[in-house]
Amino acid sequence: MFKEDEEVFGEEGTEQLGRKIAALLQPGDVLALYGELGAGKTCLVRGLARGLGIDERLVASPSFSLINEYPGPLPLVHIDCYRLHLEEELDELGLEEYFDGPGVTVIEWAERINDLPEDRLEITFDLPDETSRHIRIEALGKWEQRFKERHKA
């Protein structure tokens, strides 16, 4: 497992990190986001969208709709599991179809899903103070090699 820690400041820094990660994305990628309310998860997704050529103004937290799909050169599927508590609710979403789809799948509150794909990027948000965000990125499966190659360049 490859780990990287980032310290970012405010929404702009979080969105910049999202744009940086977007440059590595490929069809079928899954990103699992962890962190408390207001930690910057949706902000990161806005940066991912912009980096993928999608209008980031379209990105909103899908807390009530559960899943937002954003078309683009590489489609982005944004899933928010905050309001889901039962395994049956998760099963009804048919997440495997998204995991195997042609786009990128980003899951907020990923800890609520028992069967995440083995190949995924885990991104954990922590708020050490009011102005900064500590973000840990863990590359699992095929992601590990991709991150190692990025660091060689």
pLDDT in tens, 9-28: 988 999 999 999 999 999 99
Determine how many CB atoms are found less than 10 A away from the CB of residue 133: 23
- Estimate to the nearest angstrom the gap between the alpha carbon of 29 and the chain centroid: 10
pLDDT at 90: 60
Please give the DSSP secondary-structure letter assigned to residue 140.
E
**pLDDT over 70 percentage in the chain:** 85
CATH 3.40.50.300 fits 2-100+110-152, yes or no: yes
Q: pLDDT tens digit string along 30-73? A: 999 999 888 889 999 999 999 999 987 788 775 567 888 999 99
What pLDDT does 112 receive? 83
pTM of the model: 0.88
Quick one: how far is CA 136 from the chain centroid? 12
Say if residues 104 and 27 touch (Cβ distance below 8 Å). yes
| CA-based nearest residue to 80, from 104, 100, 61 | 61
Q: Give the separation between CA 41 and CA 73, rounded to whole angstroms.
A: 22
Check residues 152 and 28 and name the one with the higher pLDDT: 28
Question: d(Cα 144, Cα 138) in Å, to the nearest integer?
Answer: 8
Q: Would you list the domain boundaries of the chain?
A: 2-100+110-152
In this prediction, residues 128-140 reach a mean pLDDT of 90
Task: Look at residue 74 in the predicted model and tell me its pLDDT.
Answer: 95
Tell me if 126 sits within 8 A of 35, measured CB to CB.
yes
β pairing state of 104-108 and 76-80: parallel
**Three-class DSSP labels, 32-58:** EEECCCCCCHHHHHHHHHHHCCCCHHH
Are residues 52 and 72 in contact, defined by beta-carbon separation less than 8 angstroms? Answer: yes
Q: What pLDDT digit, counting tens, does each position of 68-122 carry? A: 899 999 999 998 887 666 565 666 666 677 788 889 999 998 988 888 899 999 9
